[in-house]
Chain A
Amino acid sequence: MNKIIFLLMMVVGGVVLAQTNLPATKVKAPAKPKAPTEINSDAADFHMNIHQAIYRGHVVVVDPQVRMTCTWMLVDLPTGGDHLNHVLAVTNVVVDFVDQKGQTNHVTAAQAVYDYKVVGAMTNETVTFSGNPIVEMPTMTIYSEPLVWDRAANKYHFTEPRMISKDTGTNGPAQKLF
């Protein structure tokens, strides 16, 4: 009888141990929520009737991908959960971001206009710089008026660009870069 009880206890204990030694099931890590866009400024005016905000003085926009500073900025506030679709930044506009190649991009201009539009299945997301726009990358500096940064396609669109390679320091001829 004692043997039977002992065997039963061994069996039950073995099952319990087997259960406790089960490999942990792989739990899929939840997707990291995208950080919101943060805008800081000295002062701001919110016009509720037209869903518009105007930021004044030391405007700093921090996006997960981009950091922008300027002196004055107009934002069409999204309604009904829509995407932010229009931003106008004026005076001393500076945009910094890291591109897909890991290169830092430093853009300066007098004005920048951000537009986001979805047409059918196409998403158009562009930033148009004007007022002596300059892109500084580790290897080159590019001048173009205007300068369009296609965020959806990760491309710059230049108009008669002028490029200065930082390797040689020479002022090269206009080149088709992208």
Chain B
Amino acid sequence: MKFKAAIWQRPDLNGARLCRRPAAAIRKLLRLTLRAQPRSAKIRIRALPAIFNPAVGAAIFLFVGMNDPAQQLPVGHATDFTSNQYFEPPHGQQVKMKLSGAEALPLPGGLLDVRQLRVETFALDGKTEVVVRAPQCTYAPLDGVANSAGHMELHSGDGRLHVEGDGFLWRQTSSSLTISNHVRTLIDMPGATMSGT
């Protein structure tokens, strides 16, 4: 069980930083987005209003992993979406993180309202490391922060660690998770001694 894998990939903003006008940079990113060719049919796009809103469009673009052009790029209101993030070369064919949700709605300020979030991280050997589930969360792609006042659950791939609580804040840059209320952790320790009794 390892926790080193980041659940959210920080967006690459190099292009935006180089530009003196952020709006122009976002429009440039959007043009790149529209040129990208989706590979999978798993993502159903209902509408494309976000492409006319540079901030939201860029946010959604970044949300699904701007670092990997091979990823799917839901724009606007997406349902039953899945997005895979891959390891760096030479393991570029192996999935590092699989993010899925029942629904993603764009919010003002470049935020996303994600429903039935499920994030799975994988080790290089393909084993599941961590699974995180939350019925709802708000994600700020530009800041790399996700939060929710609702319930969340985390469990390790080997089933030995289970964490749940209410209200969470995930900071992508530091790979840290803060749970605000009613935290409950179960740790199943192998070979624990029966001494002390």
* A44 x B178 contact (CB < 8 A): yes
Q: Chain A interface (Cβ within 8 Å of chain B)? A: 34, 36-49, 51, 53, 55, 64-66, 77-84, 97-100, 123, 125, 149, 151-154
| Chain B: CB-nearest residue to A82 | B190
Q: Contact between A49 and B4 (Cβ–Cβ < 8 Å)?
A: yes
The answer to whether A45 and B178 touch (CB under 8 A), given A38-B185, A83-B192, is yes
B185: nearest chain-A partner, CB-CB? A39
Query: Quick check: B175 and A49 within 8 Å, CB to CB?
Result: yes
B52 within 8 A of A: no
Q: How many B residues, CB 8 Å from partner?
A: 38
Q: B3–A151 contact, CB under 8 A?
A: no
Q: How many A-B residue pairs have CB under 8 A?
A: 124
Contact of A100 among B183, B190, B197 (CB under 8 A): B197
**Cross-chain contact B185 with A53 (CB below 8 angstroms):** yes
B104 within 8 A of A: no
B123 (CB) vs chain A CBs: closest residue: A80
Is there an interface contact between B195 and A79, defined as CB atoms closer than 8 Å?
no
Interface pair B189/A46, CB less than 8 Å apart: no
- In the complex, B37 has a CB within 8 A of chain A: no
Q: Is B24 an interface residue (CB 8 A)?
A: no
Q: Distance in Å from the Cβ of A88 to the closest Cβ of chain B?
A: 16
Contact A43-B189, Cβ < 8 Å, known A48-B175, A66-B196 = no
